[in-house]
Chain A
Amino acid sequence: MPFRIGADVGGTFTDVVLLDDDSTKICATKVLTTPEQPDEAIVQGVVELLEAQELDGNALSHIIHGTTLFTNALIERKGAKTALITTKGFRDSIEIGREHRYDMYDLHMQKPKSLAPRYLRFELDERVLADGSVLRPLEGDDVHQLVGKLKQEGVEAVAVCLIHSYANDAHEKRVGTILAQALPDLAVSLSHEIVPEIREYDRTSTTLANVYVKPIAGRYLNRLQSQLGDTAGFDKSLFVMQSNGGLCEAADAAASPILCVESGPAAGGLAAAYYGKLLGHSDLLSFDMGGTTAKACVIVDSEPLVANDFEVDRQYQFKKGSGLPVKVPVIEMIEIGTGGGSIAEVDAMKRLNVGPHSAGAVPGPVAYGRGGDRPTVTDADLRLGYLDPEFFLGGTMRLDLERSREAIHDKIGAPLGLDEMAAAWGIHQIANENMASAARIHAIERGKDVRKFPIFAFGGAGPVHAFGVAQILRAPSIIYPLNAGVMSAIGFMTAPLSLQYSRSFPTLLDTLDIAGVNALLKEMEKQGREKLEKTIPAEDVGFRRFADIRYRKQGYEVRTVLPDGPLTDESAAVIRKNFEAAYREIYGHTMNAPIEIISWRVIAHGPNPVLNLPTQSEEAGATADSALKSRRAIYLPKHQEMREVPVYDRYQLPAGVRFKGPVIIEERESTAVINGDAEIRVDAFNNLIVDIAQE
Chain B
Amino acid sequence: MDQITFDILWGRLIATVNEQAAGLIRSSFTSIVREAGDLSAGVFDKRGRMVAQAVTGTPGHINSMATGMIHFLERFPIETMRPGDVFITNDPWMTASQLNDITIMTPVFKGGEAIAFFANCCHALDIGGRGLSADSRSVYEEGLQIPVMKLHDAGRPVEAIFELLAANVRTPEEVLGDIHSQIVGNEIGVTQLLGFLDEFGLPDIEELSEEIIQRSEDAMRARIEALPDGTYRYALPIDGFGEPITLKAEIEINGSDLTVNFEAPPSVPMGINVTLNYTRAYTTYGIKCAISPDVPNNEGSFRPVAVTAPEGSLLNTSFPSAVGGRHLVGHFLPSAVMGALAEIVPDRVMAPGFDGLWDTHIAGTRRGTGETFSYTWFSAGGTGAMKTQDGWSATAYPSGIAGVPAEVIEFLAPIVVHRRELRTDSGGAGEFRGGLGQTMEIEVLSDEPFLFSGLYERTEKPAPGLAGGHDAPVGRLHTNNDVRLQPKISCLVPSTTIVTLEIPGGGGFGDPRARAKESILNDVRNGYVSNDMAREVYGCDADVE
Contact residue among A433, A555, A588 (Cβ-Cβ distance under 8 Å from B35): A555
Q: Mark A584-597, 1 if CB is under 8 A from B, else 0.
A: 00111101110000
Given the interface contacts A108-B386, A118-B528, A592-B173, does A99 sit within 8 Å of B22 by beta carbon?
A: no
**Does chain A have a CB within 8 A of B350?**
yes
Determine whether the beta carbon of B31 is less than 8 Å from that of A554: yes
Determine whether the beta carbon of B407 is less than 8 Å from that of A348: no
**Does chain B have a CB within 8 A of A456?**
no
Given the interface contacts A106-B293, A349-B296, does A99 sit within 8 Å of B26 by beta carbon?
A: no
How close is A206's CB to chain B, nearest CB, in angstroms?
13
A499 to B295, CA, bound (A): 48
**Does chain A have a CB within 8 A of B208?**
no
Contact residue among A92, A105, A348, A422 (Cβ-Cβ distance under 8 Å from B4): A422
Contact residue among B12, B18, B294, B525 (Cβ-Cβ distance under 8 Å from A347): B294
**Does chain A have a CB within 8 A of B393?**
yes
How close is A12's CB to chain B, nearest CB, in angstroms?
31
A458 to B59, CA, bound (A): 40
**Does chain B have a CB within 8 A of A535?**
no
How close is B2's CB to chain A, nearest CB, in angstroms?
8
**One of B42-50, B236-244, B247-255, B416-424 contacting the partner:** B416-424
**Does chain A have a CB within 8 A of B164?**
no
- Interface residue total, chain A, C-beta cutoff 8 A: 68
How close is B5's CB to chain A, nearest CB, in angstroms?
9
**Does chain A have a CB within 8 A of B10?**
yes
Q: Residues of A contacting B4 with CB < 8 Å?
A: 352, 418, 422, 425-426, 429-430
A591 to B407, CA, bound (A): 25
Q: Mark A95-106, 1 if CB is under 8 A from B, else 0.
A: 111111100111
Q: Residues of A contacting B215 with CB < 8 Å?
A: 349-351
How close is B172's CB to chain A, nearest CB, in angstroms?
11
A201 to B222, CA, bound (A): 43
**One of A40-48, A369-377, A437-445, A476-484 contacting the partner:** A437-445
Determine whether the beta carbon of B405 is less than 8 Å from that of A200: yes
How close is A249's CB to chain B, nearest CB, in angstroms?
32
Within 8 A of A (CB), among B330-356: 348-350
Determine whether the beta carbon of B294 is less than 8 Å from that of A95: no
Q: Residues of A contacting B386 with CB < 8 Å?
A: 107-108
**Does chain A have a CB within 8 A of B41?**
no
**Does chain A have a CB within 8 A of B55?**
yes
Within 8 A of B (CB), among A411-443: 416-418, 422, 425-426, 429-430, 433-434, 437, 440-441
Q: Mark B512-536, 1 if CB is under 8 A from A, else 0.
A: 0000000000000111100000000
Q: Residues of A contacting B292 with CB < 8 Å?
A: 348
Determine whether the beta carbon of B26 is less than 8 Å from that of A105: no
**Does chain B have a CB within 8 A of A651?**
no
**Does chain B have a CB within 8 A of A642?**
no
Q: Residues of B contacting A99 with CB < 8 Å?
A: 379-380, 394-396, 401-403
Determine whether the beta carbon of B177 is less than 8 Å from that of A506: no
Q: Residues of B contacting A96 with CB < 8 Å?
A: 393-394, 403, 420, 422, 438
Determine whether the beta carbon of B290 is less than 8 Å from that of A445: no
A416 to B59, CA, bound (A): 33
Q: Residues of B contacting A93 with CB < 8 Å?
A: 405-406, 420
- Interface residue total, chain B, C-beta cutoff 8 A: 84
Closest B residue to A445 by CB, please name it. B22
Q: Residues of A contacting B419 with CB < 8 Å?
A: 88-90
Q: Residues of B contacting A425 with CB < 8 Å?
A: 4
Q: Residues of B contacting A129 with CB < 8 Å?
A: 410, 416
Contact residue among A106, A127, A199, A351 (Cβ-Cβ distance under 8 Å from B7): A351
How close is A650's CB to chain B, nearest CB, in angstroms?
31
Contact residue among B28, B59, B421 (Cβ-Cβ distance under 8 Å from A91): B421
A199 to B409, CA, bound (A): 10
Closest B residue to A422 by CB, please name it. B4
Determine whether the beta carbon of B394 is less than 8 Å from that of A430: no
**Does chain A have a CB within 8 A of B19?**
yes
A587 to B400, CA, bound (A): 23
Determine whether the beta carbon of A351 is less than 8 Å from that of B31: no
Determine whether the beta carbon of A588 is less than 8 Å from that of B26: yes
Q: Residues of A contacting B15 with CB < 8 Å?
A: 437, 440-441
Per CB-CB distance, the 10 closest pairs between chain A and chain B, nearest first, are A89-B419, A99-B403, A118-B526, A105-B293, A426-B4, A437-B15, A100-B402, A555-B31, A99-B380, A588-B27
Q: Which residues of B contact A (CB under 8 A)?
A: 2-4, 7-8, 10-12, 15, 18-19, 22-23, 25-29, 31, 34-36, 55, 57, 59, 173-174, 177, 180-181, 184, 188, 215-216, 218-219, 222-223, 288-290, 292-296, 348-350, 379-380, 386, 388-389, 392-397, 400-403, 405-408, 410-412, 416-422, 438, 441, 525-528
Would you give 6 A-B contacts (Cβ < 8 Å), ordered by A? Answer: A100-B403, A104-B57, A202-B405, A433-B8, A434-B11, A587-B28
Instruction: For the A-B complex with A93-B405, A101-B397 known, give 13 more contacts whose Cβ atoms are closer than 8 Å.
Output: A96-B422, A111-B392, A127-B418, A198-B405, A199-B408, A202-B405, A349-B215, A349-B216, A351-B10, A430-B8, A434-B11, A441-B18, A447-B26
